[in-house]
Amino acid sequence: MSNVPESTENDTAAAAPSDAAATAPFDLVLRGEQMLTTAGIVAREIGIRDGRVTAIEPLGSGLQGAEIIELEPHQVMIPGLVDTHVHVNEPGRTEWEGFESATKAAAAGGVTTLIDMPLNSIPSTVTVEALNIKRAAAKGKTHIDVGFWGGAVPGNEDDLRGLHDEGVFGFKCFLLHSGVDEFPHLTADEMEADMAELAKFDSLMIVHAEDSRAIDHAPTAEGNQYANFLASRPRGAENVAVAEVIERARWTGARAHILHLSSSDALPMIATARRDGVKITVETCPHYLTLLAEEIPNGATAFKCCPPIREASNRELLWQGLLDGTIDCIVSDHSPSTVDLKDVENGDFGVAWGGVASLQLGLSLIWTEAKRRGIDLPQVMQWMSAKPAELAGLTHKGRIALGYDADFSIFEPDSAQVIDVHQLHHKNPISPYDGRALAGVVQGTWLRGQKIDFTTPLGRMLRRGDV
Ligand SMILES: [Zn+2]
């Protein structure tokens, strides 16, 4: 089965303007039986020049390159993942992650572009000055391409346009306490005012949708019982907040995006809003699609994230939401902290940092679960590469297609691995996936046609609208 809409499209042709140019050697040529292009998984030769895909020809065409890679029959060339939800935490909380370890982990997991969240770093990315500080901190350290979200907080209305002009991909806001005091949340009215501003320059508001008052009325999370923690972050709090985002997007005409959807209850109203023409998109994350509240041991704070991992029935409906197109994409929400802050010794869900580290594992996690459900690899890549690239307006990323950046991995879908958290590139060795057996291994990752070697940082800093 394949739900990739472009699957019938012809993907071949050389982009070179003349026969002479077409026959000149490429910088790199890949040949294989399984190349994931816009025509699906097909036998192709891919020619790369100056970091871009410049030829896609049937296997056997004999494209010549300065370097030639012949894929083995069990290997698939896939586009690099685009992960639009990553907390790198540098500068300010570099002990939680940082650009070097984050981008190495990303590359090892097949991610070639990440967009960094505006909070948990210090300063938060809520002014142009703070954006410049973050760019300076990232410079020379990134092994993949990195872009930045701005933040919308009370009082920075006048900074939004400047941040947009400086190339942020959109603005994140919270509708309840963000987890860090220096990034305060907006009321729904404040969010609406900022949305009206963003609509003027067609920027995007991305929202952590849990309602502050609903959470205040819920039971407290204290103690080591997962059930208590789950009750402290009820679906109702998400549902109310999602409804606010929908209505405020409707009223202002702004584009809005629901981050890390966990409550499947919200899917019907999102689908209805879309039918009404409200400009709303939705993401969910590997932890909501692969883990189950019923299986989380008490005290296992590695599983704590907000909104929380919910019940099996909820998970099934999230998968359904992906398959019917209500949910657009799957991104990590990689939100690590130090092991200390996860309060592993006491296992108190009220005290532990809320965030799951999974940047390196997203593809294998989702592929393992997708395979079990009979969902094919092109569909997975649509959710994890093409769609997030579209969300961020990255028109030259997210596919192996003519003119696109040559960002890709060689993936072995039938190989297996057992996760050892100490072997990951993540800075802090804590993950709910430690010890899990997963299908799918990334054998190597290339950025703009160059192999990522984990020594020489090849990454660039991306700005909205770059081509
Ligand atoms: Zn997040």
Residue 333 CA to ligand 1 center (angstroms) comes to 5
Residue 178 CA to ligand 1 center (angstroms) comes to 9
Residue 452 CA to ligand 1 center (angstroms) comes to 26
Measured N-to-C along each axis, helices 128-138 and 157-165 cross at an angle, to the nearest 10 degrees, of 40
Residue 117 CA to ligand 1 center (angstroms) comes to 7
Query: Which token pair is 406?
Result: 């040559």
Residue 402 CA to ligand 1 center (angstroms) comes to 33
Distance in angstroms (rounded) separating the CA atoms of residues 146 and 168:
11
Cis ω before 457 (30° cut-off from 0): no
Region 247-272 average pLDDT? 98
Q: What is the CA radius of gyration of the chain?
A: 21
Distance in angstroms (rounded) separating the CA atoms of residues 192 and 177:
18
* Whether pTM exceeds 0.75: yes
Residue 169 CA to ligand 1 center (angstroms) comes to 15
Domains and CATH numbers, the chain: 80-402 (3.20.20.140)
The predicted pLDDT at position 3 comes to 43
**pLDDT averaged over every residue in the chain:** 95
Contact status, residue 442 vs residue 461, Cβ threshold 8 Å: no
The predicted pLDDT at position 143 comes to 98
Q: Residue 220: helix, strand or coil by DSSP?
A: coil
Contact status, residue 112 vs residue 81, Cβ threshold 8 Å: yes
The DSSP result for 334-350, as a single string, is B----TGGGTTTTT-TT
**What share of the chain in percent tops pLDDT 70?**
96
The predicted pLDDT at position 66 comes to 97
pLDDT digits (tens, 9 = 90+) for 344-392: 889 999 999 999 999 999 999 999 999 999 999 999 999 999 999 999 9
Region 107-117 average pLDDT? 98
The predicted pLDDT at position 22 comes to 52
Distance in angstroms (rounded) separating the CA atoms of residues 251 and 448:
41
Region 403-422 average pLDDT? 98
Region 72-87 average pLDDT? 98
Residue 310 pLDDT greater than 60, yes or no? yes
Residue 65 CA to ligand 1 center (angstroms) comes to 42
Distance in angstroms (rounded) separating the CA atoms of residues 424 and 107:
11
Residue 260 CA to ligand 1 center (angstroms) comes to 7
Residue 86 CA to ligand 1 center (angstroms) comes to 7
- Band of pLDDT at residue 14, cut at 50, 70 and 90: low
Give backbone dihedrals phi and psi of 382, rounded to 5 degrees, phi first: -60, -45
The predicted pLDDT at position 23 comes to 61
The predicted pLDDT at position 9 comes to 54
The predicted pLDDT at position 44 comes to 98
HSE, side-chain direction, 13 A CA sphere, residue 283: 30
Residue 354 CA to ligand 1 center (angstroms) comes to 10
Residue with tokens 């209805």: 272
Residue 410 CA to ligand 1 center (angstroms) comes to 28
Contact status, residue 290 vs residue 265, Cβ threshold 8 Å: no
What sections of 338-386 are H helices per DSSP?
Answer: 362-372, 377-381
Distance in angstroms (rounded) separating the CA atoms of residues 435 and 465:
41
Residue 303 CA to ligand 1 center (angstroms) comes to 14
Region 340-344 average pLDDT? 92
The predicted pLDDT at position 17 comes to 43
Residue 97 CA to ligand 1 center (angstroms) comes to 14
Residue 438: closest CA among 421, 414, 410, 422: 414
Residue 379 CA to ligand 1 center (angstroms) comes to 24
